[in-house]
């Protein structure tokens, strides 16, 4: 008869070794047959893939997380752990708990904030405004830069710093925190840390080719003659007395307007619309 001590020394397994091996083999088969790898390192166009400069273990992307969730019938439940939202900073920390038939299986945390470089860049950018569109404030604070079109024509733009309030990205921040929390929870619940890492796909922007900042600002830069014509047409619009007059003015000057650069055409159309709405009688 076995003693109590002998029974205590025996390992207690939920699965036999053969059952455990069979489960691993099934998971390897699922990964090989159902998960799609990225077409190339850093592309992030599949279910998982290698991120350049971040080791040899692949990162699991959101589509892969969704497939694993469906395979195991995992149901996520989110809880906001920390929240900070202002015009200067938006930050969320979320906890995701996953369950199967209301039985808790695993959990993970995910955080995201506008202090991260890619979101900070989205909120703080440099824009170029062509001289004839620049406001008095933009001319006073911006840097005047001379550019040259592909045709060799010189024109001037103002380099303007634009800072958007952080809450413009609040919805994006909370969604990304939820994505990260769910990814962590699913990897934990499925015990796939030996196969995949997480969050590294969010670093992929560091390896993307930087944008060309000094690119063409306008498709068709205005000539001095076009600028003069635009100024004349722009000054005529406020003098129109009726909505019908605005319509007739637009028809009469259509060929002249269509010969201008697209941005000028858009400005004139907007001014005409605003003038027409101001003159249009309201039906009560």
List Cβ neighbours of 189 (8 Å cut-off, separation of 6 or more).
72, 74, 98, 105, 106
Token digits of residue 264: 């000028």
Q: What does the pLDDT look like over 28-55, one tens digit per residue?
A: 999 999 999 998 887 888 899 888 777 7
pLDDT tens digits for 175-193? 999 999 999 999 999 989 8
pLDDT at residue 220 tops 70: no
- Is the model's pLDDT at 108 over the cut of 90? yes
pLDDT for 207 equals 41
Does the pTM exceed 0.75?
Answer: no
The band of 280, judged by pLDDT with boundaries at 50, 70 and 90, is low
Work out the average pLDDT over 74-95: 94
3-state SS, the chain, equals CCCHHHHHHCCCCCCCHHHHHHHHHHHHHHHHHHCCECCCCCCCCCCEECCCCCCCCCEECHHHHHHHHHHHCCEEEEEEEEEEECCCCEEEEEEEEEEECCEEEEEEEEEEECCCHHHHHHHEEEEEEEHHHCCHHHHHHCEEEEEECCCCCEEEEEEEEEECCHHHHHHHHHHHHHHHHHHHHHHHHHCCCCCCECCHHHHHHHHCCCCCCCCCCCCCCCCHHHHHHHHHHHHHHHHCCCHHHHHHHHHHCHHHHHCCCHHHHHHHHHHHHHHHHHHCCCCC
pLDDT at site 201: 52
The residue extents of the domains of the chain are: 124-163, 224-279
């Amino acid at each position: 008869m076995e003693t109590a001590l002998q029974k205590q020394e025996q390992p207690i397994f939920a699965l036999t070794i053969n059952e455990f091996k069979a489960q691993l083999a099934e998971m390897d088969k699922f990964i090989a047959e159902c998960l799609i790898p990225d077409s190339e390192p850093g592309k992030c166009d599949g279910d998982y893939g290698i991120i350049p400069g971040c080791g040899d273990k692949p990162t699991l992307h959101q589509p892969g997380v969704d497939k694993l969730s469906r395979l195991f019938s995992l149901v996520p439940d989110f809880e906001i752990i920390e929240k900070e939202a202002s015009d200067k900073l938006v930050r969320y920390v979320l906890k995701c708990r996953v369950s199967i038939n209301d039985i808790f299986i695993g959990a993970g945390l995910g955080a995201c904030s506008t202090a991260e470089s890619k979101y900070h860049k989205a909120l703080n950018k440099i824009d170029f405004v062509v001289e004839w569109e620049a406001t008095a404030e933009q001319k006073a604070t911006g840097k005047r830069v001379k550019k040259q079109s592909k045709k060799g024509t010189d024109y001037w733009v103002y380099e303007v710093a634009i800072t958007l309030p952080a809450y413009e990205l609040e919805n994006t921040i909370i969604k990304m925190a939820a994505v990260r929390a769910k990814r962590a929870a699913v990897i934990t619940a499925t015990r796939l840390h030996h196969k995949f890492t997480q969050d590294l796909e969010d670093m992929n922007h560091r390896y993307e080719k930087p944008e060309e900042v000094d690119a063409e600002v306008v498709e068709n830069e205005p000539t001095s003659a076009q600028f003069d014509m635009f100024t004349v047409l722009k000054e005529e619009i406020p003098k129109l007395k009726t909505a019908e007059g605005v319509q007739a003015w637009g028809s009469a000057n259509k060929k002249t307007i269509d010969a201008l650069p697209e941005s000028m055409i858009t400005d004139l159309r907007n001014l005409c619309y605003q003038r027409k709405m101001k003159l249009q009688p309201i039906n009560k």
